[in-house]
Chain A
Amino acid sequence: MTATRIRRCAADLGLFLAHAVELEAEAAARYDELADSLEAHNNPEVARLFRELAGHGRSHRDQVAGIAAAHGPLPKVAPWDFDWGGAAESPEAPTFEDVHYLMTPHHALALALRCETRARDYYAAVAEETDQPGIARLARSFAEEEESHVALVRQWLDRFPPPPPGWDEDPDPPNYNE
Protein backbone atom coordinates (compact mmCIF):
# COMPACT_ATOMS: atom_id res chain seq x y z
CA MET A 1 0.00 0.00 0.00
CA THR A 2 1.29 3.43 -0.91
CA ALA A 3 1.94 5.98 1.80
CA THR A 4 0.47 8.68 -0.43
CA ARG A 5 -2.37 10.60 1.14
CA ILE A 6 -5.21 11.45 -1.21
CA ARG A 7 -7.38 13.81 0.78
CA ARG A 8 -9.47 16.01 -1.45
CA CYS A 9 -11.02 13.56 -3.85
CA ALA A 10 -11.70 11.03 -1.09
CA ALA A 11 -14.23 13.44 0.40
CA ASP A 12 -16.59 13.99 -2.52
CA LEU A 13 -17.97 11.51 -5.05
CA GLY A 14 -18.11 14.01 -7.91
CA LEU A 15 -14.56 15.08 -7.27
CA PHE A 16 -13.40 11.48 -7.10
CA LEU A 17 -15.06 10.67 -10.42
CA ALA A 18 -13.56 13.80 -11.99
CA HIS A 19 -10.15 12.54 -10.89
CA ALA A 20 -10.85 9.03 -12.20
CA VAL A 21 -11.98 10.31 -15.61
CA GLU A 22 -8.92 12.55 -15.87
CA LEU A 23 -6.59 9.75 -14.80
CA GLU A 24 -7.90 7.34 -17.41
CA ALA A 25 -8.21 9.91 -20.21
CA GLU A 26 -4.70 11.22 -19.65
CA ALA A 27 -3.20 7.73 -19.66
CA ALA A 28 -4.93 6.81 -22.93
CA ALA A 29 -3.92 10.08 -24.59
CA ARG A 30 -0.33 9.76 -23.38
CA TYR A 31 0.07 6.22 -24.71
CA ASP A 32 -1.22 7.43 -28.08
CA GLU A 33 1.29 10.29 -28.02
CA LEU A 34 4.13 7.90 -27.23
CA ALA A 35 2.97 5.57 -30.01
CA ASP A 36 3.00 8.51 -32.44
CA SER A 37 6.45 9.52 -31.26
CA LEU A 38 7.95 6.04 -31.60
CA GLU A 39 6.34 5.67 -35.05
CA ALA A 40 7.97 8.93 -36.09
CA HIS A 41 11.31 7.57 -34.91
CA ASN A 42 11.04 4.26 -36.70
CA ASN A 43 10.49 2.01 -33.72
CA PRO A 44 7.33 0.23 -34.94
CA GLU A 45 7.46 -2.63 -32.45
CA VAL A 46 7.28 -0.37 -29.41
CA ALA A 47 4.86 1.97 -31.18
CA ARG A 48 2.45 -0.94 -31.67
CA LEU A 49 2.76 -1.83 -28.01
CA PHE A 50 2.03 1.73 -26.89
CA ARG A 51 -0.92 1.83 -29.29
CA GLU A 52 -2.29 -1.38 -27.76
CA LEU A 53 -1.88 0.06 -24.27
CA ALA A 54 -3.68 3.19 -25.47
CA GLY A 55 -6.53 0.99 -26.65
CA HIS A 56 -6.84 -0.60 -23.22
CA GLY A 57 -6.66 2.85 -21.69
CA ARG A 58 -9.45 4.18 -23.93
CA SER A 59 -11.65 1.22 -23.02
CA HIS A 60 -11.19 1.84 -19.30
CA ARG A 61 -11.61 5.59 -19.82
CA ASP A 62 -14.99 5.00 -21.50
CA GLN A 63 -16.03 2.63 -18.74
CA VAL A 64 -15.21 5.19 -16.04
CA ALA A 65 -16.80 7.99 -18.07
CA GLY A 66 -19.99 5.92 -18.28
CA ILE A 67 -20.09 5.54 -14.50
CA ALA A 68 -19.39 9.24 -14.11
CA ALA A 69 -22.17 10.16 -16.54
CA ALA A 70 -24.68 8.31 -14.39
CA HIS A 71 -23.59 10.46 -11.46
CA GLY A 72 -24.44 13.71 -13.26
CA PRO A 73 -22.32 16.75 -14.07
CA LEU A 74 -18.84 16.55 -12.58
CA PRO A 75 -17.08 19.50 -11.02
CA LYS A 76 -14.71 21.32 -13.36
CA VAL A 77 -11.17 20.94 -12.09
CA ALA A 78 -8.24 22.90 -13.51
CA PRO A 79 -5.28 20.68 -14.51
CA TRP A 80 -3.14 22.03 -11.67
CA ASP A 81 -5.90 21.51 -9.09
CA PHE A 82 -6.09 17.74 -9.46
CA ASP A 83 -4.74 16.09 -6.33
CA TRP A 84 -2.42 13.28 -7.33
CA GLY A 85 -0.88 12.82 -3.91
CA GLY A 86 2.02 15.14 -4.58
CA ALA A 87 2.87 13.82 -8.07
CA ALA A 88 3.14 16.30 -10.94
CA GLU A 89 0.80 14.33 -13.20
CA SER A 90 -1.88 11.67 -12.90
CA PRO A 91 -0.48 8.36 -11.69
CA GLU A 92 -1.27 6.26 -14.77
CA ALA A 93 0.24 8.59 -17.36
CA PRO A 94 3.75 7.58 -18.45
CA THR A 95 6.09 10.54 -18.23
CA PHE A 96 7.52 11.87 -21.48
CA GLU A 97 11.05 11.69 -20.15
CA ASP A 98 10.89 7.93 -19.59
CA VAL A 99 11.04 7.03 -23.26
CA HIS A 100 13.96 6.58 -25.62
CA TYR A 101 13.91 6.22 -29.39
CA LEU A 102 15.74 2.89 -29.17
CA MET A 103 13.71 1.51 -26.27
CA THR A 104 12.63 -2.12 -26.52
CA PRO A 105 9.28 -3.75 -25.72
CA HIS A 106 10.74 -4.70 -22.36
CA HIS A 107 11.30 -1.02 -21.49
CA ALA A 108 7.83 -0.07 -22.71
CA LEU A 109 6.19 -2.77 -20.62
CA ALA A 110 8.30 -1.97 -17.56
CA LEU A 111 7.13 1.62 -17.93
CA ALA A 112 3.52 0.48 -18.29
CA LEU A 113 3.88 -1.70 -15.21
CA ARG A 114 5.00 1.28 -13.15
CA CYS A 115 2.06 3.31 -14.39
CA GLU A 116 -0.57 0.62 -13.79
CA THR A 117 0.87 -0.03 -10.33
CA ARG A 118 0.68 3.67 -9.47
CA ALA A 119 -2.95 3.80 -10.65
CA ARG A 120 -3.85 0.76 -8.56
CA ASP A 121 -2.17 2.26 -5.50
CA TYR A 122 -3.90 5.56 -6.06
CA TYR A 123 -7.38 4.02 -6.11
CA ALA A 124 -6.51 1.76 -3.18
CA ALA A 125 -5.38 4.80 -1.18
CA VAL A 126 -8.66 6.59 -1.91
CA ALA A 127 -10.64 3.49 -0.85
CA GLU A 128 -8.69 3.34 2.38
CA GLU A 129 -8.94 7.03 3.20
CA THR A 130 -12.53 7.83 2.38
CA ASP A 131 -15.31 7.64 4.92
CA GLN A 132 -17.97 7.51 2.20
CA PRO A 133 -19.14 4.00 1.28
CA GLY A 134 -20.02 4.97 -2.31
CA ILE A 135 -16.53 6.30 -3.00
CA ALA A 136 -14.91 3.34 -1.24
CA ARG A 137 -16.88 0.83 -3.34
CA LEU A 138 -16.01 2.52 -6.63
CA ALA A 139 -12.38 3.09 -5.67
CA ARG A 140 -11.99 -0.56 -4.69
CA SER A 141 -13.50 -1.72 -7.99
CA PHE A 142 -11.20 0.63 -9.96
CA ALA A 143 -8.22 -0.64 -7.94
CA GLU A 144 -9.20 -4.22 -8.80
CA GLU A 145 -9.45 -3.28 -12.47
CA GLU A 146 -5.97 -1.73 -12.32
CA GLU A 147 -4.68 -4.80 -10.52
CA SER A 148 -5.90 -6.90 -13.46
CA HIS A 149 -3.92 -4.58 -15.77
CA VAL A 150 -0.85 -5.02 -13.56
CA ALA A 151 -1.19 -8.79 -13.85
CA LEU A 152 -1.67 -8.57 -17.62
CA VAL A 153 1.40 -6.37 -18.13
CA ARG A 154 3.44 -8.75 -15.94
CA GLN A 155 2.41 -11.62 -18.23
CA TRP A 156 3.49 -9.63 -21.28
CA LEU A 157 6.78 -8.74 -19.60
CA ASP A 158 7.56 -12.43 -19.21
CA ARG A 159 7.63 -12.65 -22.99
CA PHE A 160 10.10 -9.77 -23.28
CA PRO A 161 13.17 -10.20 -21.07
CA PRO A 162 15.53 -7.26 -20.52
CA PRO A 163 17.74 -6.55 -23.55
CA PRO A 164 21.50 -6.95 -23.22
CA PRO A 165 23.59 -3.89 -22.30
CA GLY A 166 24.17 -1.58 -25.21
CA TRP A 167 20.57 -1.56 -26.42
CA ASP A 168 20.78 2.24 -26.65
CA GLU A 169 23.94 2.31 -28.77
CA ASP A 170 23.21 3.74 -32.18
CA PRO A 171 25.73 3.09 -35.00
CA ASP A 172 24.39 6.22 -36.70
CA PRO A 173 23.77 8.51 -33.73
CA PRO A 174 21.86 11.78 -34.10
CA ASN A 175 24.53 13.68 -32.18
CA TYR A 176 27.45 12.66 -34.37
CA ASN A 177 28.83 16.05 -35.32
CA GLU A 178 32.21 15.52 -36.94
Chain B
Amino acid sequence: MATYSTSEFKNGLKLMIDGYPCSIIENELVKPGKGQAFNRVKLRNLKTGRVMEKTFKSGESVEAADVMDTELQYLYADGEAWYFMDPNTFEQVGADETAVADNLKWLKEQDMCEVTLWNGVPIAITPPNFVELQVTETDPGLRGDTSGGGGKPATCNTGAVVRVPLFIEEGEMIKVDTRTGEYVGRVKG
Protein backbone atom coordinates (compact mmCIF):
# COMPACT_ATOMS: atom_id res chain seq x y z
CA MET B 1 0.00 0.00 0.00
CA ALA B 2 1.53 3.29 -1.08
CA THR B 3 1.54 6.11 1.47
CA TYR B 4 2.58 9.74 1.54
CA SER B 5 4.19 11.51 4.48
CA THR B 6 2.91 15.00 5.34
CA SER B 7 6.27 16.39 4.17
CA GLU B 8 5.37 15.19 0.65
CA PHE B 9 1.99 16.95 0.68
CA LYS B 10 1.41 19.27 -2.25
CA ASN B 11 -1.51 20.48 -4.31
CA GLY B 12 -3.02 17.78 -6.51
CA LEU B 13 -1.77 14.87 -4.39
CA LYS B 14 -4.45 12.15 -4.11
CA LEU B 15 -5.11 10.64 -0.68
CA MET B 16 -7.60 8.27 0.91
CA ILE B 17 -9.53 10.08 3.66
CA ASP B 18 -12.40 8.39 5.54
CA GLY B 19 -12.59 5.80 2.75
CA TYR B 20 -12.87 8.35 -0.07
CA PRO B 21 -10.33 9.41 -2.68
CA CYS B 22 -9.48 13.07 -2.14
CA SER B 23 -7.22 15.60 -3.81
CA ILE B 24 -5.21 18.22 -1.90
CA ILE B 25 -6.19 21.76 -2.91
CA GLU B 26 -4.35 23.66 -0.17
CA ASN B 27 -1.61 22.64 2.26
CA GLU B 28 -0.34 24.91 5.01
CA LEU B 29 2.39 24.07 7.51
CA VAL B 30 1.48 25.21 11.02
CA LYS B 31 4.56 24.94 13.16
CA PRO B 32 5.16 26.61 16.49
CA GLY B 33 8.80 27.58 17.18
CA LYS B 34 8.75 25.02 19.97
CA GLY B 35 6.45 22.05 19.82
CA GLN B 36 4.35 19.90 17.57
CA ALA B 37 3.96 20.83 13.89
CA PHE B 38 0.75 20.32 11.94
CA ASN B 39 -0.33 20.44 8.31
CA ARG B 40 -3.63 22.21 7.75
CA VAL B 41 -4.99 20.75 4.54
CA LYS B 42 -7.96 21.51 2.32
CA LEU B 43 -9.12 18.49 0.35
CA ARG B 44 -11.69 17.85 -2.35
CA ASN B 45 -13.55 14.57 -2.15
CA LEU B 46 -13.25 13.33 -5.73
CA LYS B 47 -16.45 11.28 -5.55
CA THR B 48 -18.76 13.89 -4.07
CA GLY B 49 -16.88 17.05 -4.99
CA ARG B 50 -17.23 18.27 -1.42
CA VAL B 51 -14.38 20.33 0.06
CA MET B 52 -13.24 19.76 3.64
CA GLU B 53 -10.45 20.79 5.97
CA LYS B 54 -8.33 18.37 7.99
CA THR B 55 -5.39 18.91 10.29
CA PHE B 56 -2.61 16.31 10.21
CA LYS B 57 0.07 15.84 12.82
CA SER B 58 3.23 16.45 10.79
CA GLY B 59 5.17 13.28 10.09
CA GLU B 60 2.00 11.18 9.74
CA SER B 61 1.70 8.91 6.74
CA VAL B 62 -1.53 8.78 4.79
CA GLU B 63 -2.69 6.13 2.35
CA ALA B 64 -2.36 7.19 -1.29
CA ALA B 65 -5.48 7.02 -3.45
CA ASP B 66 -5.02 5.05 -6.66
CA VAL B 67 -6.52 7.81 -8.75
CA MET B 68 -5.61 8.58 -12.35
CA ASP B 69 -6.81 11.16 -14.83
CA THR B 70 -7.03 9.69 -18.34
CA GLU B 71 -8.09 11.05 -21.72
CA LEU B 72 -10.76 8.69 -23.03
CA GLN B 73 -13.19 8.82 -25.93
CA TYR B 74 -16.92 8.74 -25.20
CA LEU B 75 -18.58 5.94 -27.18
CA TYR B 76 -22.21 5.36 -26.21
CA ALA B 77 -24.67 4.80 -23.37
CA ASP B 78 -26.79 1.70 -22.85
CA GLY B 79 -29.20 3.03 -20.27
CA GLU B 80 -27.16 1.82 -17.30
CA ALA B 81 -23.69 3.06 -18.05
CA TRP B 82 -21.77 5.46 -20.24
CA TYR B 83 -18.87 3.82 -22.06
CA PHE B 84 -15.46 5.35 -22.68
CA MET B 85 -12.54 3.94 -24.67
CA ASP B 86 -8.80 4.38 -24.60
CA PRO B 87 -8.04 5.17 -28.27
CA ASN B 88 -4.63 3.51 -28.03
CA THR B 89 -5.47 0.23 -26.33
CA PHE B 90 -9.19 0.13 -27.29
CA GLU B 91 -9.91 -0.82 -23.68
CA GLN B 92 -13.36 0.26 -22.53
CA VAL B 93 -14.71 1.34 -19.15
CA GLY B 94 -18.28 2.02 -18.09
CA ALA B 95 -19.11 5.02 -15.89
CA ASP B 96 -22.22 5.00 -13.72
CA GLU B 97 -24.69 7.83 -13.23
CA THR B 98 -22.95 9.32 -10.16
CA ALA B 99 -19.67 9.59 -12.06
CA VAL B 100 -21.28 11.21 -15.10
CA ALA B 101 -23.58 13.35 -12.97
CA ASP B 102 -24.44 16.77 -14.43
CA ASN B 103 -21.95 16.37 -17.26
CA LEU B 104 -24.31 13.98 -18.98
CA LYS B 105 -25.70 16.84 -21.05
CA TRP B 106 -22.29 17.58 -22.61
CA LEU B 107 -21.42 14.03 -23.64
CA LYS B 108 -21.26 13.70 -27.40
CA GLU B 109 -20.15 10.52 -29.07
CA GLN B 110 -16.52 10.57 -30.27
CA ASP B 111 -15.56 13.49 -28.01
CA MET B 112 -12.44 13.09 -25.84
CA CYS B 113 -13.17 13.49 -22.14
CA GLU B 114 -11.04 13.47 -19.00
CA VAL B 115 -12.06 10.43 -17.00
CA THR B 116 -10.88 10.14 -13.38
CA LEU B 117 -10.31 6.50 -12.52
CA TRP B 118 -10.17 5.20 -8.96
CA ASN B 119 -8.89 1.62 -8.76
CA GLY B 120 -9.66 1.45 -12.48
CA VAL B 121 -13.30 2.56 -12.09
CA PRO B 122 -14.49 5.98 -13.36
CA ILE B 123 -15.54 8.30 -10.52
CA ALA B 124 -15.71 11.60 -12.38
CA ILE B 125 -15.98 12.82 -15.97
CA THR B 126 -14.77 16.18 -17.23
CA PRO B 127 -16.07 17.02 -20.73
CA PRO B 128 -13.92 19.01 -23.17
CA ASN B 129 -13.95 22.76 -22.42
CA PHE B 130 -15.79 23.37 -25.70
CA VAL B 131 -18.31 21.08 -27.41
CA GLU B 132 -20.14 21.46 -30.71
CA LEU B 133 -23.82 20.58 -30.45
CA GLN B 134 -26.76 20.56 -32.83
CA VAL B 135 -29.84 22.58 -31.95
CA THR B 136 -32.85 20.25 -32.05
CA GLU B 137 -35.49 22.58 -30.71
CA THR B 138 -35.86 26.34 -30.38
CA ASP B 139 -38.42 29.05 -31.12
CA PRO B 140 -38.33 30.35 -34.71
CA GLY B 141 -35.59 32.90 -35.22
CA LEU B 142 -36.38 36.53 -35.93
CA ARG B 143 -35.22 37.49 -39.43
CA GLY B 144 -32.82 40.36 -39.50
CA ASP B 145 -31.85 40.15 -35.86
CA THR B 146 -28.11 39.55 -35.73
CA SER B 147 -27.31 41.58 -32.64
CA GLY B 148 -27.41 38.57 -30.33
CA GLY B 149 -29.12 40.67 -27.66
CA GLY B 150 -31.88 39.10 -25.64
CA GLY B 151 -31.54 35.46 -26.56
CA LYS B 152 -33.74 32.41 -26.16
CA PRO B 153 -33.41 28.86 -24.90
CA ALA B 154 -32.34 26.13 -27.32
CA THR B 155 -32.39 22.39 -26.69
CA CYS B 156 -29.44 20.48 -28.17
CA ASN B 157 -29.00 16.92 -29.35
CA THR B 158 -27.41 15.88 -26.03
CA GLY B 159 -30.33 17.28 -24.04
CA ALA B 160 -28.45 20.39 -22.92
CA VAL B 161 -30.46 23.60 -22.86
CA VAL B 162 -28.34 26.62 -23.81
CA ARG B 163 -29.22 30.30 -24.08
CA VAL B 164 -28.59 31.30 -27.71
CA PRO B 165 -29.03 34.48 -29.79
CA LEU B 166 -32.40 34.95 -31.49
CA PHE B 167 -31.03 34.24 -35.00
CA ILE B 168 -30.08 30.61 -34.22
CA GLU B 169 -32.36 28.13 -35.95
CA GLU B 170 -33.20 24.47 -35.45
CA GLY B 171 -30.64 22.17 -37.08
CA GLU B 172 -27.76 24.59 -36.69
CA MET B 173 -24.46 23.62 -34.99
CA ILE B 174 -23.34 25.78 -32.06
CA LYS B 175 -20.21 25.89 -29.92
CA VAL B 176 -20.72 25.86 -26.13
CA ASP B 177 -18.33 26.38 -23.20
CA THR B 178 -19.03 23.43 -20.86
CA ARG B 179 -17.44 25.17 -17.86
CA THR B 180 -19.98 28.00 -17.90
CA GLY B 181 -22.72 26.43 -20.02
CA GLU B 182 -22.65 29.50 -22.25
CA TYR B 183 -23.06 29.80 -26.01
CA VAL B 184 -19.78 30.77 -27.67
CA GLY B 185 -20.62 30.93 -31.39
CA ARG B 186 -22.12 29.40 -34.47
CA VAL B 187 -20.27 26.59 -36.20
CA LYS B 188 -20.12 27.23 -39.93
CA GLY B 189 -21.11 24.10 -41.81
Co-assembled chains A and B: no
